[in-house]
Amino acid sequence: MATPEEAKALDELGFVILRDLIDEPWLKALRRRVEELFEQEGENAGHEFRTEPFARRLANLVDKGEVFERVAAHPKVLELVRHVLPGGFKLSSLNARSTLPFAAEPQPLHVDMGLLPDERGAAVCNSVWLLDDFTADNGATRFVPGSHRWGKNPRETLADPLAPHPDEILITAPAGTVVVYNAHIWHGGTANRTARHRRALHSFYVRRDLPQQQWQKKLLRPETQARLSPLLRDLLALDDPLNDTLSEATPGLSGFLPPRA
C-alpha cells in the first residue's frame, strides 16, 4: 500500500511516481486491447469525449473490457487518490491518449477540468498509466512541482501556456509506471518527436459533490453495469442520486476542459 514517502510527495510536489505497478502480462493485455479499440473505432475513436489533431483518443474504457476495471479500482492508486480527496471521490473518466508520431505541438500547461481548490480543498486527482516508455523525445508529461498549492490556473496566469516553464520537470519513466497527481498541478503533454506512438491511460477522479467529466451511468451499457462489483458501482456513482442530479444539470462536460487536455 501507499507509503508515508509517497503521500509526502503528493503533498509537497503534487505527484508521485509508482514504478512497476503494471506487471508485464497486464501491460501486454492493456496494449493489445487499446490497439484493438483504435482499430475497431477508427475515426470515431474517442467520440464520447473528444478528438484531437495530434493524438489518438479512446474514452469510456470501463465499458470496453474487464482489463480496464483493474485500472479504475487499483487499491494503491485509490489510497493515494483518497489522500488527495479525503472527503470522498468517484471516477470521473477513464480514457486513453496516444500521441501521434512526429506530433510537434505540445499541450498547454493546464489544470484538469479548469478547476481550482475551494473551501473544501482539492477537487480532482488524476493518474497516468504508462503503456510505453516516457522519454524526453516522445511526448512525456511535464509538471510544475508545487503548483497545485498556488490556487491559480496557468491558462489565466501565463502569457504563453505552451511555452516551457522555468520550474517544470519532465516525467521520464519506463512502461508499467503509474503517476498519481493532484490534478490542480500545472501539467501538459510535450511534443512527440519520434516515429512511434506514445500511449497512456488516464484514470481521473473527482470529488463526490462535483459532476463527472463523463457521466458513467449514461455511457455504460446495461450488461456492463450488471456485472460490476459493488466497489466499482460505488466508484462510478451508478447508484448515487446526487451524481445523477449533478450530471443532468451540467450537460456537455467536456466543455469544462482545456483543449487537448
Question: What's the pLDDT tens digit per position in 3-32?
Answer: 999 999 999 999 999 999 999 999 999 999
Tens of pLDDT along 208-233? 999 999 999 999 999 999 999 999 99
Q: Which domain holds residue 247?
A: 4-256
Tens of pLDDT along 154-210? 999 999 999 999 999 999 999 999 999 999 999 999 999 999 999 999 999 999 999
Are the beta carbons of 43 and 32 closer than 8 angstroms? Answer: no
- pLDDT score at 51: 81
Helices (H), 55-167: 69-72, 75-84, 154-157
Are the beta carbons of 100 and 193 closer than 8 angstroms? Answer: no
Are the beta carbons of 48 and 215 closer than 8 angstroms? Answer: no
Residues in the chain: 261
The verdict on residue 134 lying in a domain is: yes
More confident residue, 196 or 261: 196
Residue type present at position 97: R
101 DSSP 8-state letter:
T
Local structure of 77: helix, strand or coil: helix
- pLDDT score at 251: 61
Number of domains in the chain: 1
Grid cell for residue 215? 457521466
Q: List the CATH number of the domain containing 126.
A: 2.60.120.620
The verdict on residue 62 lying in a domain is: yes
- pLDDT score at 258: 35
pLDDT at 60 over 90: yes
User: Among 124, 140, 129, which Cα is nearest to 84's?
Assistant: 124
The verdict on residue 261 lying in a domain is: no
Spatial distance between the Cα atoms of 81 and 90, rounded to a whole number of angstroms: 10
Q: What residues contact 205, with CB distance under 8 A and at least 6 apart?
A: 81, 85, 89, 90, 91, 92, 124, 125, 126, 127
- pLDDT score at 249: 85
